[in-house]
A and B are shown apart, each in its own frame.
Chain A
């Protein structure tokens, strides 16, 4: 699966896309594929603050529970409620299924994130592929 070039990525396998000052955050195809069938998503509440490189929730699959790391700092403005009943959407369409939206408090953090090409080479290093 191709990694959208307008997105940015973390080494913890989250993606973020920016519209104005609002970032939409999800997990990558590589992440969903390593986790396997996702059965539960633990997300923060609207109004919670998140910090770059710190955990903001977790995803649970039949294999493991994995922390979610925020690519940026800011305040949560929306949470994808549909994941409560259909967490499998992340497996089906990882790059279209968002988990939270965040109002960025420090937009310059965007510059520290990996672009699609850099993320792709990071993943192939990790898998040794």
Chain B
């Protein structure tokens, strides 16, 4: 049996444990089983067929039929195969998989906030509107911007909204312009956003430090350039130290600077994009501001902008009526009360139903207020310190293609190990056996065989040391028993899956 070949010893912080076998929920179904019992009908029965005619479904929908405990066991068993930040370090670079504080969950469950309904009249929703207003104030202060929309539901949605603002502004100036510049180190969503918004994408090559080549930028920016989409710190984890000059070069030609705020966890409380020339940017509440991420979502990607872009923000916009607030608000136009404003003729329109993923706003605000300005600054410092600690402890074993000081993440390459036939993906799979979620593999694309590690501030020195020990141990295995690494993982329920066949010849149906 395959399981007997697994080493049953403790590796790193884990040892193999009993996992329950589990089939598909459809396979557990048996006809007529129910997990519910309805009370007797207390209204007159109707004949569905006479009301629905031909559209009345006669056959069963084929949904699985199970009892309540069977459903509970099914999903509980499945959940034990999962890996989560609550089990250990999740060093997925560029994703900022930080701890989701329990205080966020506590606050989000307060009845008045959890049960708030989007159709409630503004006058009766002043509590939740105050939460949204305060979060907007905090985020504009943190970014150094003037205005914000919380509507976008994720980072890429935020990019889309931001570039719509850029386009609307250029149009208001008489020319929407034709192209957007994007560095070769960018997240893939940046060129996708530009293309969806109707712009041609022009690639900007990184210099030897992994940053923007100012001379190339100067050559490429022209009167048809709408914007540069820039991630700062870059995906190499390097701060763009020439950022103000980059902004000047763009502004001189009437182009705007968009900042992808995916890596804002390295900047909060230290520098403000609004102060270094950024015109519009998005944030990821599910990265920087500790809301759940990766299946636990939903996400939230607010877009902050400078004053001149404010008229174009999606509708509705939260506005406070003039005057001193009253102790009790009965109409939304009362002095000091908050209300949604829809009459905004230059707006790009709505980008999301209602006002975005409100539950995430409560969590993000709880995080910001629980930390306070000094706490947020400390968070940034710890995130950068942790990444540099990992870098210092591993740089003798792994190739470091860009030597510039790291911010919140470090990017190694598998060059030395690849010479032995072991690649970044093999290393990542073996890390699972040591009880860690893999780091990000093969990204950014400007580093062949990238290992992108972002520990975040959540990790203690003890957990970081376990991770470093695991990485060093795997590097030894590459020298002594490379096959062990190339065929990993060995401790999981299923061993290595054939990702190539899954992509080339996917089986998309249950039972043929």
Chain B 439-471 per-residue mask, 1 if CB under 8 angstroms from chain A, else 0:
001110100100000000000000000000000
CA distance A127 to B448 in the complex (A): 9
Which of A36, A40, A65 meets B188, CB within 8 Å? A65
Chain A 48-90 per-residue mask, 1 if CB under 8 angstroms from chain B, else 0:
0000000000001011111000000000000000000001100
Given contacts A37-B500, A39-B504, A65-B188, 5 further A-B contacts (CB under 8 A): A36-B442, A37-B499, A37-B503, A39-B500, A127-B448
Q: Are B188 and A62 in contact (CB under 8 A)?
A: no
Chain B 136-159 per-residue mask, 1 if CB under 8 angstroms from chain A, else 0:
000000000000000000000000
Q: List 26 A-B contacts (CB under 8 A).
A: A34-B448, A36-B442, A37-B499, A37-B500, A37-B503, A37-B504, A39-B500, A39-B503, A39-B504, A40-B503, A60-B503, A62-B499, A62-B500, A62-B503, A63-B425, A63-B441, A63-B442, A64-B442, A64-B443, A64-B445, A65-B188, A66-B445, A87-B504, A88-B500, A88-B504, A127-B448
Residues on A with beta carbons closer than 8 Å to the beta carbon of B441 = 63
Q: In the complex, how many residue pairs between chain A and chain B have their CB atoms under 8 Å apart? A: 26
CA distance A63 to B423 in the complex (A): 12
Chain B 274-301 per-residue mask, 1 if CB under 8 angstroms from chain A, else 0:
0000000000000000000000000000
Residues on A with beta carbons closer than 8 Å to the beta carbon of B445 = 64, 66
Interface, chain A (partner B; CB < 8 A): 34, 36-37, 39-40, 60, 62-66, 87-88, 127
Shortest CB distance A38–B (Å): 9
- Tell me which of A62, A65, A88, A127 has the highest count of chain B C-beta atoms within 10 A of its own C-beta: A62
Interface, chain B (partner A; CB < 8 A): 188, 425, 441-443, 445, 448, 499-500, 503-504
CA distance A66 to B188 in the complex (A): 10
Q: Nearest A residue to B201 by beta-carbon distance?
A: A55
CA distance A64 to B443 in the complex (A): 8
CA distance A121 to B448 in the complex (A): 18
CA distance A39 to B443 in the complex (A): 18
Q: Nearest A residue to B445 by beta-carbon distance?
A: A64
Residues on B with beta carbons closer than 8 Å to the beta carbon of A63 = 425, 441-442
- Tell me which of B425, B443, B445 has the highest count of chain A C-beta atoms within 10 A of its own C-beta: B445
Residues on A with beta carbons closer than 8 Å to the beta carbon of B442 = 36, 63-64
Shortest CB distance A23–B (Å): 23
Shortest CB distance B413–A (Å): 10
Shortest CB distance A40–B (Å): 7
Shortest CB distance B446–A (Å): 10
Residues on B with beta carbons closer than 8 Å to the beta carbon of A127 = 448
Residues on B with beta carbons closer than 8 Å to the beta carbon of A34 = 448
Shortest CB distance A88–B (Å): 7
Shortest CB distance A67–B (Å): 8
CA distance A36 to B500 in the complex (A): 10
Shortest CB distance A76–B (Å): 20
Residues on A with beta carbons closer than 8 Å to the beta carbon of B425 = 63
CA distance A87 to B425 in the complex (A): 21
Shortest CB distance A30–B (Å): 10
CA distance A40 to B504 in the complex (A): 7
Q: Nearest B residue to A87 by beta-carbon distance?
A: B504
CA distance A77 to B445 in the complex (A): 32
Residues on A with beta carbons closer than 8 Å to the beta carbon of B504 = 37, 39, 87-88
Shortest CB distance A125–B (Å): 12
Residues on B with beta carbons closer than 8 Å to the beta carbon of A40 = 503
- Tell me which of B188, B441, B442 has the highest count of chain A C-beta atoms within 10 A of its own C-beta: B442
Q: Which 10 A-B pairs have the closest CB atoms?
A: A39-B503, A37-B500, A63-B442, A62-B499, A39-B504, A62-B500, A34-B448, A64-B445, A62-B503, A64-B442
